[in-house]
Structure 1
Amino acid sequence: MSRTVHIIGAPVDYGANRRGVDMGPSAIRYSGLADELAAAGVTAIDTGDLLVPRAEERDPEREEPPEGKAKFLRETADVCSRLADEVAASIENDAFPLVLGGDHSIAMGTLGGAARDADVGAVWFDAHGDFNTPGTSPSGNVHGMPLAGALGIDDFADTEWANVPRLREENVVIVGLRSIDDQEREAIRDSEVTVYTMSDIDERGITPVVEDALDVATHGVDGIHVSLDLDWLDPNEAPGVGTPVRGGVTYREAHSALETVAERDEREDVLRSLEVVEVNPILDEHNETAELATELAASALGKRIL
């Protein structure tokens, strides 16, 4: 499917527990994103990066927050609000927004823009649940909260910048979960979010799991958002992430998953936005995680061997 893609960089590390993820957009571009997208048959327009103040300009200390707090929530709110505007503007201009993170807190902005004038579902490729809130997070790191934020859970219920009313729990699917906090587990069990763990992928295979996830996410909505956290992959495949968890998907499984997304999109025109997050070049080895990010984005947008 021929389309115009707007590349939007969101060099954010407000939500992360380790420095360096703000350089993710640059690393992904440097790793050949333009060439990969061209090979996928899309016209890519790089709109540049959002302006994000450096850490030294906002707070020199990253101390543990008081109970019930989140680090840099005000700064995260500002960036997500501006990112939502950028994503919405791309869609209004008949372009497809491809957002490059930065840490996963930016997902609240991407989703907010994608759902501004449409009901959306979401497929969340991630090792983690991202279902903490300021009141439950053990660390206060907002990159562990974006799904709860977008769904308006607890502390996020009245936050206009985070809560996405046109995203419903029954259309949200987490694929590849393998690391979760106790309170997150309880909250997800109490929700209508669908979860496929790594055990499900092991037992059933990646393609059937992703097909089922797409069935859930696309049911009764105008389109879907796909959020790809590179820590979804096994650290042997993607070492350059801040919160690696052993036992993730393989290189080939990841490509198969994103190719399945593209195939569904070709048949039904369901893909509304895509983000690739948590690439940290400081932790990477020869930029291989950033290179993998470019390949997977291209697979999601239709690149094939034949």
Structure 2
Amino acid sequence: MRKLKIIGMPMDLGQMRRGVDMGPSAIRYAGVYERLQNLVDEIIDEGDIPVGRPQVEVDPESNLRNLPLIAEKTELLAEKVDQAISSGSFPLVLGGDHSIAIGTLAGISKHYKNLGVIWYDAHGDLNTSETSPSGNIHGMPLAVSMGIGHELLVNVGNYAPKVKPEHIVLIGARALDDGEKELIKEKGIKVFTMHEIDLMGMAKVMEETIEYLKDKTDGVHLSLDLDGLDPNDAPGVGTPVIGGISYRESHLAMELLAESKLITSAEFVEVNPILDEKNKTATLAVALMGSLLGEKLV
């Protein structure tokens, strides 16, 4: 069994709806420490990285919201994640909006020659300042991590890219912008949309994902956005999209990843308790973390 370090990143700078900065607190309140402590040899909660309450700024050249602040704060997260891996720990990052993945991946990828990424999300997060309808950076972290985007973000951690397109698998996509679709085709990124999940079943999707990544990667990061799940199961997210992955399908996905022993780091993002129902989404996130780390039903 492994050592686990929990790192909170209460950042909501990547989008416009307040509340997601309370995500780490909601996940802790839902009992993440207690749920996971028997699944690992050692668990340490590092607390939250300080983000503060900065004013919203829009970069006049790129139209990106909070550009320098997100670059600065994700650098702090990258350092924390780097330290966790260097100490032999599995980093589990609690978000925060999905822009935090820029920092998570910057801290992780330097430890691997060929890092794989499973992006479990309704969205592709493959926008750039040219293709983004909103200028919200939480719609860009995967593109940034491939080395595509504003240099301040691309160079977090002082190196780029963090991940190769052929080492990425998107699962649950059902809200892709035109620019994202073009980038997926151009780079040959593997995608399982809700159409494939409905058609093939989650077991087959995960089997193919694991097969696709296992021989060409030396570590795999799971970036799970709670809006990948259907809003009926996960209502407390900022950008819900109907017709998503079910509660049980998600548990199965996590259980199969646990059995594969491929996952070397993870983050759970976009929990917004202000939009939630009795902390339902944070409680679901904690349950999925349990399944990912090997919790069994019997």
Into which bin does the TM-score normalised by the smaller protein fall?
over 0.9
Structure 2 counterpart of 1:122, from 117, 122, 144: 117
- CA distance, structure 1, for counterparts of residue 60 and residue 131 of structure 2: 11
Compute the displacement of 1:225 (Å): 0.4
- Matched to 1:160, the amino acid is N
Matched positions, count: 296
Residue 92 of structure 1 is matched in structure 2 by: 86
Change (3 A) 1:157 1:72: closer
Per-residue CA distance 1:63-119 (angstroms, 9 max, x = gap): 7x6573210011111111111111111111011100000000011111111111212
Report deviation, 1:62.
6.5
Closer/same/farther in 2, CA of residues 286 and 215 from structure 1, 3 Å limit? same
Candidates 140, 143, 147, aligned match of 1:145: 140
Q: What is the CA–CA distance in structure 2 between the aligned matches of 1:143 and 1:294, rounded to whole Å?
A: 22
Within the candidate set 242, 252, 260, 1:264 is matched to 260
TM normalised by structure 2 equals 0.95
How large is the RMSD of aligned CA atoms in angstroms? 1.7
Q: Using the TM superposition, give the Cα deviation of residue 48 of structure 1 relative to its aligned residue in structure 2, in angstroms.
A: 0.5
The worse-fitting range, judged by mean Cα deviation, of 23-32 and 106-115 is 106-115
Percent sequence identity over matched residues? Answer: 48
Change in CA separation of 1:95 and 1:19 when aligned onto 2, cut-off 3 Å: same
**Corresponding letter in the other structure for 2:165:** E
Match for residue 298 of structure 1 among 278, 290, 293: 290
Equivalent residues of 1:12, 1:22 under 8 A apart: yes
Q: Which residue of 2 aligns with 1:21?
A: 20
2:116 & 2:5 partners in 1: Cα distance?
Answer: 21
Matched to 2:292, the amino acid is A
> Structure 1 unaligned runs (5+)?
none
**8 Å CA contact retained: 1:135, 1:155:** no
> How far off its partner does 1:39 sit?
4.3
| Maintained 8 Å contact 2:71/2:153 | no
Whether the 8 Å CA contact 2:6–2:91 is kept in 1: the answer is yes
Following the alignment from structure 2 to structure 1, what is the Cα–Cα distance between the partners of residues 122 and 50? 28
Q: 2-side partners of 1:19 and 1:238: how far apart?
A: 17
TM-score, with structure 1 as normaliser: 0.92
Q: 1:208 aligns with which of 180, 200, 204?
A: 204
- Mapped contact 1:230–1:277 kept (Cα < 8 A): yes
